Chains A and B, each alone.
Chain A
Amino acid sequence: MSEHVRQKVVGIVAEQAVLQPSDIRMDQSLEDLGIDSMALVEAIFSIEEAFDIQVPFNANEPDKSEFDISSVGAIVAAVERLVAEQSG
C-alpha cells in the first residue's frame, strides 16, 4: 500500500514540477521543486482523483490546513492517512 501511494504521489508531483519521478526526493519541499500555488491546487486535485479521497486544503491558509504539504514525504504520509480514514 505504502509503496503504491508513494509512487502515485511522486508521479503527480513530478508531472507538476516537469521532472522525472526519479528526480523527486522525499525530503524536498514543493518550493524546492518549483511548484507554485496554481500547480499545488492542480496536484491536490490529481491526488483526490487518483485516490478517490477529499483533501482538506484552503489556498488562503496552507499552513493551517490539516493536510501537511511541507515536503513530498509529508504529502505521502498525509495521503496515506486520508486513504486509511476515508476508505470503506
Chain B
Amino acid sequence: MRRVVITGAGTINPLGHSVSETFEAFREGRCGIGELDIRDVDRLSIRIGGQVKGYDPETRFNRQQLALYDRFTQFTLIAGEEAIRQSGLEFSGHLAAEAGVVLGTSGGGLNTQDENYRVVYEEGKNRVHPFVVPKLMNNAAASHLSMTFNLKGPSFTVATACASSNHAMGQAFWLIRGGAATVMITGGSESMLCFGGVKAWEGLRVMSKDACRPFSANRNGMVQGEGAGVFVFEEYEHAKARGATILAEVVGFSMTSDAEDIVMPSTQGAARAIQGALKDAGIPAEKVGYINAHGTGTAANDKTECAAVARVFGHHADRVMISSTKSMHGHLIGGTGAVELLACIMALKDGVIAPTIGYEEPDPECALDVVPNVARDAKVDYVLSNAFAFGGSNAVIALKRA
C-alpha cells in the first residue's frame, strides 16, 4: 500500500500568520480570541471571536485578485503558498497532472454573500458586482489554489460543517494511497465572522459571551474563529526520492455518521470514528500519545467526546493527553481540523503538546488529561485529530512521527 506523508504546512489564523507564529502561540498558551471588530457588531449579542488580526488584504493581493477572492480564498492562498514553498515542490509536466487540491469549508464566501445581500436588500440597489458568483462559491478557494500553482489533477471542496477539513484531508490521504494522485494540497478555510455569520450562530444559543473553556466545568459555549490551514500531502516514495523534509506521516483515517440528530453529538458515532482511524492505521489505542480534541467548549460536545475516548481507550484513556486548541484560536468551523492538525504536527515533530487554555474547574464528565493551561514536553509517536460535526458527521485522522 502506498504511504502518505506531509511535506509542507501553512496557515493564517487568529494566533499568527504562519506556522512558526502559530507554534509559538501554542507553546505559550496564548489566546487569539478577543472583541470582534466587524460592521454592526453593536447589533450582536455575541461580540467575541478569534479574528485574524494585523492583516491587510491589499498588501497581499492586487485589485484584480481582490475582486475575485473572498476572505476565505485569501486565507487559503496565503496558507497554501507557505505550505507549497516549504515542500519545495514545483508543479509542471507529469507532476502537475498527478497533483490536486481538496479543501474543506462550511460557509465558503459568506462575507461576499453578506455584503451583497446588504447591497440589494438593505441599500435597495438593483446591481451587484459581476463576480459575486465566482467569489462566493464554495469551491473558489480550491480552484484558485489549482490555478495559482498549476495543479491539474482532482480539485474539489468538501462541506461537512465542522468536519469539513478532516473530511477533505481524509480524501487527500485516500487519493494518494489509492494511486489517483501523487501530491494533494489539502486542509480548509473559513471566514464566517461577519454580521450575518455571527447572527446565525447566536440563534442556536450555544455561543459563549466571554471565553472558550473546553472540558472546564464552567464552560459555557463555543467561540467562532476564522482562518485557514493548508498542507502538502505527498506519496512517501516520491518525497523520499527527492529528499524532502517529512513533517509527519498520515497513517489512518475514518469517517462515520451518527444517523441520529442534526445538532446533538453521539458517543457511538464519535467512538466508531476513533476506533476506525486506529484500525486503519493498524495500531492499538495504547500507542496513541496525544489527541487533538474537537473540544468545542459546549456542554454537549465535550462530555460526549470524553465518553467516546474513554470507551475506545479503556484504561489507556487515563494516560493519553487530549487538548482542545479551540480555547486559543476559536472554532474555525470548516477550517478547524486543518489548523488543529498543526498542533498534531507540533506534538510529533517538536515534542510539545499544545494546552487547553481557560481551564478553570474539573468536570467529572470530562475526567481526562486535558493538558490544562500550560504546554507540555512529551515525546509521542502517534496522534489523533478528532472532528465531530453538525449533521452527525465524524472524521478522525491518525498521524505518525516521521
Contact = CB atoms under 8 A, between A and B. Distances in A.
Interface in B369-385: none
Contacts of B205: 41, 44, 57-59
Contacts of B209: 58
B220 A60 contact: yes
Given A37-B264, A38-B263, A59 B206 contact: yes
A60 B263 contact: no
B378 to A, nearest CB: 31
A41 B263 CA distance: 12
A60 B299 contact: yes
B203 A60 contact: no
Given A41-B205, A44-B205, A58 B263 contact: no
A54 B300 CA distance: 24
A45 B220 contact: no
A45 B208 contact: no
Contacts of A44: 205
Nearest to A57: B205
Interface in A5-55: 37-38, 41, 44-45, 54
A41 B206 CA distance: 10
A36 to B, nearest CB: 8
Nearest to B263: A38
A60 B208 contact: yes
Given A41-B204, A41-B205, A60 B264 contact: no
Interface size class of A (residues with CB under 8 A): 10 to 19
B219 A59 contact: no
Interface string A52-71: 00100111110010000000
A64 B219 CA distance: 12
A61 B216 CA distance: 13
Contacts of A45: 203
A24 B220 CA distance: 31
B391 to A, nearest CB: 14
Interface in B174-219: 203-209, 219
A58 B263 CA distance: 15
Nearest to B302: A60
A30 to B, nearest CB: 15
B217 to A, nearest CB: 10
A65 to B, nearest CB: 9
Nearest to A54: B45
Select the residue from B205, B220, B300 with max chain A CB neighbours within 10 A.
B205
B301 to A, nearest CB: 10
Given A41-B205, A58-B207, 11 more contacts: A37-B264, A41-B203, A44-B205, A58-B209, A58-B220, A60-B206, A60-B219, A60-B221, A60-B298, A60-B299, A60-B300
Interface of B: 45, 203-209, 219-221, 263-264, 298-300
28 contacts: A37-B264, A38-B263, A38-B264, A41-B203, A41-B204, A41-B205, A44-B205, A54-B45, A57-B205, A58-B205, A58-B206, A58-B207, A58-B208, A58-B209, A58-B220, A59-B205, A59-B206, A59-B221, A59-B298, A60-B206, A60-B208, A60-B219, A60-B221, A60-B298, A60-B299, A61-B220, A61-B299, A64-B220
